[in-house]
Amino acid sequence: MSVSITWHGHGTVSFLVGGKRVLVDPFFLPDNPAATIEADAIDAEYILLTHGHGDHVAHALSIAQRCNSLVISNFEICNWVAAQGHDNVHAQHIGGGFDHPFGRVKMTIAFHGSGLPDGSYGGMPGGFLMTLEGKNVYVAGDTAVYSDMKLIGRADLDLAVVPIGDNFTMGPDDALLAVKLLEPKVVIPYHFGTWPPITQDASAWGQRVLDETRSRAVILKPEETYYL
Ligand code: NI
Ligand code: MN
């Protein structure tokens, strides 16, 4: 079986694994100006949340309640989701992995914040290192570059998804450094182009990846899909 990834704009991606959708950080229209679909237009068996910021948990509850999705995140965010009335959650934490029906998910560190929209404490922000149908995939979440990405790169990554927007996360130069540390076969940039402070030329960045690293960048448009 194959795995595909779809970028939904901003920090939202989803993987289709064996016919099940694994949705990361759901943020759709009308709140997400980079999205082209509304949250009602997507179903997900699983929802993964990297951190508590509004542009990442925005539509988690509405989709989870409609689809009875299993929500996977850190302990604090899972408790918050349960307190909103959705108790189909699976809490993990930084460094911990678990074999879910769709594949293995390990939470990784991220350097960022994680406060929830209502002011609740969202624990530590994270990323996800996953094995999906034998493919090693890393979704960085919102983060600065950090040298321990070198350790994540030991997983022999088939795909890394990294922010390039700058301002809230690493920008193009640091994201290029991240690619050198992670050494993925393919890198997909995200968390850019949503609002003026994070406008970036993704094609130019992709060319730099090709010229300056051993990886290849795949630049998606919102709702475009790449097959691993
Ligand atoms: Ni954030
Ligand atoms: Mn964000």
Structural domains of the chain in order of their starting residue, each with its CATH number: 3-227 (3.60.15.10)
Structure token digits, residue 119: 């002011």
Helices 202-212 and 172-182 cross at an angle (nearest 10°) of: 40
In this structure, which ligand is nearest to the CA of 163?
A: 2
The whole-number pLDDT of residue 176 equals 98
Please tell me the distance between residue 168's alpha carbon and the centre of ligand 1 in angstroms: 7
Are the beta carbons of 178 and 147 closer than 8 angstroms? no
pLDDT for residue 179: 99
Q: Ligand 1 centroid to 174 CA: how many Å?
A: 17
Buried-state track 168-193, b at ≥16 Cβ within 10 A, e below 16? bbbbbebbbbbbbbbbbebbbbbbbb
Task: Tell how far the Cα of 32 is from the centroid of ligand 2, in angstroms.
Answer: 11
Strands 97-100 and 103-109: antiparallel
Distance CA 217, CA 227 (A): 13
Protein residues placing their CB within 5 Å of the ion ligand 1: 53, 142
- The pLDDT of residue 124 is 98
What's the 34 CA to ligand 2 centre distance in angstroms? 13
- The tens place of each residue's pLDDT in the chain, 228 residues long, gives 789 999 999 999 999 999 999 999 999 999 999 999 999 999 999 999 999 999 999 999 999 999 999 999 999 999 999 999 999 999 999 999 999 999 999 999 999 999 999 999 999 999 999 999 999 999 999 999 999 999 999 999 999 999 999 999 999 999 999 999 999 999 999 999 999 999 999 999 999 999 999 999 999 999 999 999
pLDDT for residue 2:
86
Q: How far is CA 110 from CA 11, 150, 184, in A?
A: 14, 13, 18
User: 1 CA distance to ligand 2 centroid (A)?
Assistant: 31
The reported pLDDT for the residue numbered 91 is 98
Q: Are 35 and 27 in contact (CB under 8 A)?
A: yes
CA of 49 from ligand 1 middle (Å) equals: 11
203 CA from centroid of ligand 2 (Å): 21
